[in-house]
Structure 1
Amino acid sequence: MIATIRNRGLLWPTIATLAGLALLISLGNWQMRRLAWKQHLTENITERVHRDPLPLEAVDAAAARGDDIEYTRVAAQGQWLHDREMHLYALDASHGPGFYIITPLKLADGNVLLVNRGFVPNELKETAQRAEGLVAGDVRVVGLVRGPEAHGAFVPPNELKRNIWYWRDIAAMGAEAAGGADGGTAHVHAFFVDAEKDPVPPGGWPIGGTTRLELPNRHLEYALTWYGLAATLVGVFAAFAVARWRRKGTDAGT
C-alpha cells in the first residue's frame, strides 16, 4: 500500500496532511479544555460574589495558606486616608474616560488596605471637585478581593509624580499608602478590594461596583475554527489525492 501511495506521488503530501491534521485537532482540543476551565472559573466567581462577606483576617489567613482569594467578598473597617488617594486610569461605558479612586483604608491595627472606591470622570479627578464624598470617621467597606496584575507590553508606565496610574502596581501603591499611614512603617495588604456600589457616598462620587465579572470566553468559537480547518484540510487533501491518483493512473496506462 505504501509503495502504491509512493508511486502515485502521495507519500509526502499524506504525511504532511496527517501532521497538519494532528496539529489542528490538538489545538481544537486545547481550546475545549480552556472552555471547560473558563466555565468553571465563571461559576466560582458567581458563587463567591454572592457569599456573605468574610472578615479581613479570614482572607489574610487564606492568602497565607496559598488559597485562591480572587473575587472573595470581604468586609473591613477603618478610616479613609483621602490625602493619599491614587488615580488609576479607567474607561467607563457610561461616562467615558476617567479614573478609579484608590484610597488607603487605615485599619484599627494601624495597617492599610488599598480600596478601589469606584469611578470618577476626568473632571472629578481632584478631591476638591468632590469634597462631599470625602467621608471622615470610621467606615465599613464591603467589596471583592483583587490581586496584583502584570504590566502589559502596551500599557504606559505609571506616573507617580503626577499620581496617575495605568496598572495596579500593588507594591508601588502600597509604598505610597504606607508613607501616609504611619510614617512608612504600616503594613499594606498585598491585594486590592473593589468596593461595592452601595452605600453611595455623599455627592454620588466615586461610583463603586466597578469589578468586571464577565470574563471573555470565545474558546468554543476558537475550537470550532480549528476543527473546521481540520475538516477543510481533509477535504482539500482528498480532492488533491483523487486528482493525483487518476492522473498517475492515466500516465501509467499510456
Structure 2
Amino acid sequence: MSRVSGAGRTDVGAKRVTERAGVGAAPSRSGASRLLLVLLGLLGILVFVGLGIWQLERRVWKLDLIARVDQRIHAPVADAPGPANWGDINAASSEYRHVRLAGQFQGANTLVQAVTELGGGYWVLTPMRSDRGFTVLVNRGFVPQERKAEFQQERGGLTSPTVVDGLLRISEPGGGFLRSNDPAANRWYSRDVAAIARARGLTDVAPYFIDAGASDADSWPRGGLTVVTFRNSHLVYALTWFALAAMLAFALARPIIARRNRNAAR
C-alpha cells in the first residue's frame, strides 16, 4: 500500500482547489463576455433604427423643400421685400421667391469662393441701391478663377439704372465647410450679408441677397446658376440602416434559436 506524505496531500488538495476554481471562473468570464456582446448588439440595433428614422424625417423635409422651391421659382415675379417686411424674412417662407429689384449698382464687388457646374471660381456680389431707398446685395453670377482680378478691380460702368430679376436667397453666415470668412483679408467662403455689409460700410441693407437670373452664354458674370434641383436619396439610406438593424438582430438571435433547436432535439 502506497502512502502519501502530508506535503503530498497538501499539493493534491491545492491542485484540486485550483482546478475547481478554474472550472468555475471560465464560465463566469465567458458569460460576462456574451452579455457584453449582447448589450453592444442591442445598442447597435437602436442606433441603426434611429438613423433610419432620421433619414425618413429628412426625406419628408427634402420633399417639402422640393415642392416649395418648384412652386416659388415658377410663381409670378414680385417686388423684392422692403424694410417693412424684413422681419418676416426666413428660409421657410421666403427663400427662392422670384423677385424683381430696380435701382443702380454701387460700390465694390465682393468675390465669394464657389464651385458650380462651370467649375471652381467666384460669385460676384455687388450692392444695388434700389429706387425705394434701401440696398440689396445682388449675386450677379459666377466668374472662373482666371477672371478674379478683373472683377475685384471693377469700378464704374454699372451706375446706369437697371432691373434685376432673380431668386431671393437667405444670408449664409459664418463661412463655408471648415473655412470661416475672413473680412480683414477679403477672403469669403459664404454669402454672409451682414458681414459683407459691415466690411463694405453699407447701410440700410436687406437681410437677404438676390441670385440674378440667367445671362448671356458668352458674358461674365454668368447668372442663372442657382441650384434648384435637389437629390433625394433619403429613402435608400433609411432602408440601408433598417437592413443593418435587421441583420444585427438576426445575428444576436441565431445562437438562441440554435440552442432551442438542440434542446428540442434531445
* Matching of residue 124 in structure 1 with residue 147 in structure 2: yes
Counterpart in the other structure of 2:69: 45
Larger radius of gyration: 2
Which of 65, 71, 77 pairs up with 2:96?
A: 71
In the alignment, is the contact (CA less than 8 A) between 2:125 and 2:140 conserved in 1?
Answer: yes
In the alignment, is the contact (CA less than 8 A) between 1:79 and 1:105 conserved in 2?
Answer: yes
Counterpart in the other structure of 1:197: 214
Q: 1:33 and 1:24, CA in 2 relative to 1: closer, same or farther beyond 3 A?
A: same
* Matching of residue 85 in structure 1 with residue 101 in structure 2: no
Counterpart in the other structure of 1:224: 239
Could you tell me how far apart the structure 2 residues matched to 1:144 and 1:104 are?
A: 16
Which of 48, 57, 77 pairs up with 2:81?
A: 57
The code of the aligned residue for 1:116 comes to N
Q: 1:133 and 1:36, CA in 2 relative to 1: closer, same or farther beyond 3 A?
A: farther
Moved more, 22-31 or 66-75: 22-31
Q: What TM-score do you get using the length of structure 1 for normalisation? A: 0.76
**CA apart distance, 1:161:** 4.4
* Matching of residue 25 in structure 1 with residue 49 in structure 2: yes
Which of 92, 97, 103 pairs up with 2:126?
A: 103
The code of the aligned residue for 2:210 comes to V
Q: How big is each residue's C-alpha offset from its partner over 1:178-225, in whole Å with a ceiling of 9 and x where there is no partner?
A: x3xxxx5x3000111100114x39x61100012111234331122011
Counterpart in the other structure of 2:256: 241
Could you tell me how far apart the structure 2 residues matched to 1:241 and 1:220 are?
A: 32
Could you tell me how far apart the structure 2 residues matched to 1:217 and 1:163 are?
A: 35
Q: 1:218 and 1:204, CA in 2 relative to 1: closer, same or farther beyond 3 A?
A: same
In the alignment, is the contact (CA less than 8 A) between 2:183 and 2:199 conserved in 1?
Answer: no
Structure 2: give runs of 5+ residues left out of the alignment: 1-30
**CA apart distance, 1:237:** 2.4
Could you tell me how far apart the structure 2 residues matched to 1:24 and 1:35 are?
A: 17
Counterpart in the other structure of 1:163: 186
* Identical residues among aligned pairs (%): 34
Could you tell me how far apart the structure 2 residues matched to 1:41 and 1:191 are?
A: 18
Structure 1: give runs of 5+ residues left out of the alignment: 1-8
Task: Give secondary structure in 1 for the equivalent of 2:180.
Answer: coil
Counterpart in the other structure of 1:4: none
Cα RMSD (Å): 3.3
Counterpart in the other structure of 2:161: 138
In the alignment, is the contact (CA less than 8 A) between 2:111 and 2:123 conserved in 1?
Answer: yes
In the alignment, is the contact (CA less than 8 A) between 2:51 and 2:238 conserved in 1?
Answer: yes
In the alignment, is the contact (CA less than 8 A) between 1:29 and 1:223 conserved in 2?
Answer: yes
In the alignment, is the contact (CA less than 8 A) between 1:133 and 1:206 conserved in 2?
Answer: no
Q: 1:28 and 1:170, CA in 2 relative to 1: closer, same or farther beyond 3 A?
A: same
Could you tell me how far apart the structure 2 residues matched to 1:16 and 1:102 are?
A: 52
